[in-house]
Amino acid sequence: MADDLLARIRENGDVPRHIAVIMDGNGRWARRRHLPRPMGHRAGMRAVREAVEAAIEAGVAVLTLFAFSEENWQRPANEISALMELLQEFIAKELAELKSQGVTVHVLGDRTKLAPASQAAVERLEADTAGGTRLALNICISYSSRAEITRAARLLAEDVAKGILRPEDIDEEAIAARLYTTPWRDPDLLIRTSGEQRISNFLLWQLAYAELYITPVLWPDFTRTTLFEAILEYQRRERRFGKVSV
């Protein structure tokens, strides 16, 4: 089935250049199976590989995954500890494969809150995958969009105070240039798993004109087919960016 969907995507031709994903449902996946929550997060690691490989096959240039929000630091300490261990395990297991597939990985968010071992693993992941040209993979960890926009405002204020910038020079382009996602065009498509219909403080600025695709699939059950179905739905839509069709 996945191969048939991929063939249809290629026939249509219009593939979203940048896809963002809110990876939701790990806890519910585990609960339905009477498993501890960390087991849901572990199962979700496999879905990351599915999403990456499917994005490469479809010709997507940028994939941005929402892995861990700033608000998630309020979760129980044992769950946070398990998540950080999984992060290091994921990097250890997947780094070589990501590099071989031409994936460049960037971690976006306030990494100062990560434990030293996790920070070191993230730095190694970014350094060892630098130069990949098939896919830019952004993993948002300790990320908050409001905090990101606040940071951009602070940077602008500092530049004004230093005389580098005049207040009248501050426009949308100046703000966008100070966001974590500056190197990449805004997402064309946002996928949210688990059926929840909210964006949860994720890429608030960048999602202004993104197409939204909500799927009831829980993140650990996400497959190539799920991504291809989302792309096909995107291809059926008309993107007007506030304009009127002629």
Residue whose structure tokens are 């690691």: 45
What's the confidence (pLDDT) of residue 240?
67
Q: With respect to residue 245, please indicate whether it lies within any of the assigned structural domains.
A: no
Whether 223 is covered by a domain: the verdict is: yes
User: Which residue is catalytic, options 3, 12, 72, 221?
Assistant: 72
Give the bridge partners for 189, in sequence order. Answer: 19, 211
Alpha-carbon gap, residue 182 to 51, rounded angstroms: 23
Q: Which of 4, 12, 14, 24 is catalytic?
A: 24
In a domain, 74, yes or no: yes
Q: Which residues of the chain have pLDDT under 50?
A: none
- Report how many domains make up the chain: 1
The answer as to whether 119 is a domain residue is yes
Is 72 one of the annotated active-site residues of the chain? Answer: yes
Residue 84 located in a structural domain? yes
Which pLDDT score, from 0 to 100, does residue 77 have? 87
Domain that holds residue 53: 2-8+20-233
Catalytic residue check, 4: no
In a domain, 133, yes or no: yes
If you ran DSSP here, which 8-state letter would residue 245 be given?
Answer: -
The pLDDT assigned to 239 comes to 74
pTM above 0.85, yes or no: yes
CB 75 within 8 Å of CB 110: no
Q: In this structure, is residue 59 part of a structural domain?
A: yes
Q: How many other C-beta atoms are found inside a 10 Å radius of the C-beta of residue 34? A: 7
Contacts of 109 (CB under 8 A, 6+ apart): 68, 70, 140, 141, 142, 143, 144, 180
Check residue 43 and give its pLDDT.
95
Residue 216: inside a domain: yes
Q: What is the pLDDT of residue 226?
A: 98
Domain CATH code at residue 138 = 3.40.1180.10
Q: Are 51 and 63 in contact (CB under 8 A)?
A: yes
